[in-house]
Amino acid sequence: MKRDCPDPNAGNDNDAVFVVGKSRSAGWLIDSGATAQMMPHLSDLFEYKDLDSNIEVTIADGKKIRVVGTGSERLTGIDGKRIKMIDVLYIPGLDRQLLSVSRLAERGMSVEFQKKSCTIWNKSKAIASGKKVGKAYVLDCEKDMAHYVEYAGVDSEWELWHARMGHLNKDALAKTQRATTGMPTLEHKSMTLCGGCMKGKQTVAHFPSRSMSKTTKALQLVHTDVMGPMKTKSKGGARYVLTFVDDYSKYVVANFITKMSEVPVKFKTFMNWYENQWGERIKCLRSVNGMEFVNKEMDRLCASNGIAHQKTVPYSPQQNGVVERMNRTIMEKARSMLYYKGISTMWWAEAISTSVYLINRSTTSTHSSMTPYELAVKDKPRLDHLRVFGSVGYAHVDKAKRTKLEPKSFKCMLLGYAENSKGYRVYDLESNKVKVTRSVKLDEREVDGIYDSAPTENTTVIHLTEDLDEVVQYEQEQQPAADEPMGSVEGGHVEDTEMPEAEQDDSTGHELATVTGWLRLRK
């Protein structure tokens, strides 16, 4: 395609030279002279990052325009194929959005120009087409609007903490910030639609928010219920989630069980642990009138420990509305976190465990100035260790666990917070293992469903047990009953150092390495 324009290879080597056509019609101009993808509209970009450095591009008339930031755009091509364009430069005042032919070539694609149209090929597959408009070729693609809902970029500190806290709403996030330590003061601005929230949260009629009785301290009344069976087994073979909610503090505990008959054993463990830790006794247990709760073993446990067991009337779940609402909140958070990062639902147990961890550290409508954690444990929780669930990054390997020639880190995905130790549960994407680590560097601002990280048949899980601060290992085929954490005992802090002593800036950073190689820079 011939153009009356300067040679982009001429002139100052520190300049990026491209052509702006006179046509201002909508669409991407396919430009053989452009050295990068360029966009004048910030609203069309997601995964956006500001560039702090003074980077400029030079247009055909010699005028220099500053590059403000970089981002990505998603289009729908031939036969509905989804096309993601990355490293798009945001340049306010640019006449057109430019699609660089040379940039496509660097990624192994080619553009075939015909008399009135053109086709973009990815190896042997046609992925997009264009048409000739005047003297220019314009990409014939539609914006993938579903993508803009699902992948709204994390372009502010407020949105980042919204994701870290399991997609907490703006009012609760502001109250939680005041009731905890470690979270910065956040300036809330109008946020773009959050795909995780849109997909993960449901709109249904609420159970009445008023409790049937008024409690004044922890463990006076404990609500319990079972969710399940889940369609997919967890890594340890669990199909059900047994939840306990303290009526006073709204502190919640989740247990993962393989069958209903485990309920009495888990209740006994819950009772022994929390009565000892909190210095209070369970006075009353409220459950549904199902066989998992109404049986000789449960009757014996309650009677021998002086616990009154209240059962709801059949088909009246609103009588146990506290735990019903809690279960809904847990599932909404878990779904939102999974969908937000595009993670396989095979990780539902990890997402639920993380949801519980975050709920206990978020304020509630009942106690807007204190979190369930503080009400129950009598200590204000720190949140500076929180990171976005499902983020991909690199975890550090201790010297004692590697030789001098072995790598110092491994690529991983964050699955939550370890129990009984200050660490993070991560999925080793290279060895197919779940591990606990204290030091990890994560790219939280990458919002893309490219990691369908479901465990395979041979997944090995290395983790801390519920009772012992030690590492155990087993193969998935053995399917032990309790591989997931309870989701209530304290976890730790993270990010590139030992936690929690040091705070770290975990943002992705705007390194020029993401730009160099395809854009000649002017500083």
21-25, 72-76, 194-198 — most confident range? 72-76
The C-alpha angle with vertex 181 and arms to 177 and 187, in degrees rounded to 5, equals 35
pLDDT higher than threshold 70 for residue 113 = yes
* Cα 115 from Cα 137, distance rounded (Å): 10
| Cα Rg, the chain, nearest whole Å | 27
Query: Fold identical between 16-151 and 157-478?
Result: no
Enter the tokens of residue 217.
């301290």
* pLDDT tens column, 403-423: 777 888 899 999 999 877 778
* Predicted pLDDT of residue 17: 34
* Cα 420 from Cα 241, distance rounded (Å): 20
The full DSSP string for 292-330 is: TTSSHHHHHHHHHTT-EEEEPPTT-GGGGHHHHHHHHHH
* Cα 297 from Cα 102, distance rounded (Å): 72
* Cα 430 from Cα 131, distance rounded (Å): 43
* Cα 453 from Cα 466, distance rounded (Å): 25
* Cα 356 from Cα 333, distance rounded (Å): 9
Domain ranges of the chain: 16-151, 157-478
pTM reported for the whole predicted model: 0.59
* Cα 19 from Cα 102, distance rounded (Å): 13
* Predicted pLDDT of residue 450: 36
* Predicted pLDDT of residue 388: 94
Phi, psi of 39 (to 5 degrees): -145, 130
Q: Within the chain, what is the greatest distance between any pair of CA atoms? A: 91
* Predicted pLDDT of residue 189: 56
* pLDDT tens column, 80-89: 677 778 888 8
CATH number of 16-151: 2.40.70
Q: Which helix (H) or strand (E) holds 156?
A: none
* Predicted pLDDT of residue 15: 35
* pLDDT tens column, 183-215: 888 776 555 567 778 778 755 544 455 555 689
* Predicted pLDDT of residue 324: 93
In 3D, which of 136, 135, 117, 134 has the Cα closest to residue 126?
A: 117
* pLDDT tens column, 429-453: 888 889 999 889 988 876 544 333 4
At the fourth CATH level, the homologous superfamily of domain 157-478 is Ribonuclease H-like superfamily/Ribonuclease H (3.30.420.10)
* Predicted pLDDT of residue 58: 77
- Kindly list the strands in the beta sheet with 56-58, ordered across the sheet, starting from the edge strand earlier in the chain: 16-17, 56-58, 64-66
CB atoms within 10 A of CB 389: 31
pLDDT higher than threshold 80 for residue 131 = yes
The rounded mean pLDDT for the chain is 75
User: In one letter, which amino acid is 228?
Assistant: G
Phi-psi group of 496: left, alpha or beta (phi > 0 → left; psi -120 to 50 → alpha; rest → beta): left
Q: What whole-number percentage of the chain has pLDDT above 90?
A: 37
Q: How far is CA 506 from CA 315, 342, 407, 421, in A?
A: 48, 21, 21, 21
CB atoms within 10 A of CB 115: 6
Least confident of 140-149, 326-335, 453-462: 453-462
